[in-house]
Structure 1
């Protein structure tokens, strides 16, 4: 089964260390997977292992003018883990990283996107995060966030819930966006 090309866009979070789990699941489901990281996201991943796993270079920065694309075009994207910084910049249309540039372009191309924001439970209370997530939902992004999706830890405690990060749910959201739209509930703010 060939599902298409899936971009996994990774931000700077300890959860990023486990992105190989999502890569493996997606490949099992027939996706050709490409990993793109923010500059801080790259600090958490093993780029060499991911390149070996996917067969594609792990991209972090915009290419130089005139350079050809080294990745095939995306048929779907998953942003996981997505930081508060990336979510807020994305909702504002800021493209100061390759990940953000790809997300802004993806909207124009109509590429299905799922986002799994991950932060600590104190930062999650900031109103701008919830405003940004509401914008993304309005734009058709599958936002997987809230206590009904996974729990957040306190500052410095995010690894405590690392094992329950819903990688499979993000994959389902881009594989069958209509089905996931009807199942995903609105944010639950504690």
Structure 2
């Protein structure tokens, strides 16, 4: 089942009624008229918006010198070839890319939700007493790790509030500091030789 957030529906509706999209629709409507003139009331009804939104578009186009007042409720295109101002194929490609971006964003949100759910489940597993009883490695587990062969190996059993510090020293010299406030820290020498 797909969950649709209210904000997703609102943003979709907003983008359809954005000033840019309404202006493109307005210009197409204007282009389809015989004398490139348009009645404001008819445009508002056709675009299914309030008249003030049409006035916003008209005011911008008049300010750019592309539209002129023809009468009280009528405006006429005076900006040359109207097709130069209507969405071209590159604009359509941008819209397609925008759709791809929306799909990618949706997938990212889905993945984020899945990661969050996995992290919650890992926390539940790691806090279970039954799982903690079995949270250990054996000597043979350590010996089976190729990168640990012929290395000096120590095992540490410590409380969860343990702080581990490894200060930098000259090459070949190492020091490890462990501190905890809630219990004892146990350090075991495992081996630096392979099992035969």
TM-score normalised by length of structure 1: 0.20
TM-score normalised by length of structure 2: 0.19
Compare the two structures and name the one with the higher helix fraction: 2
**Higher relative contact order, chain-length normalized (CA < 8 Å, sep 6+):** 1
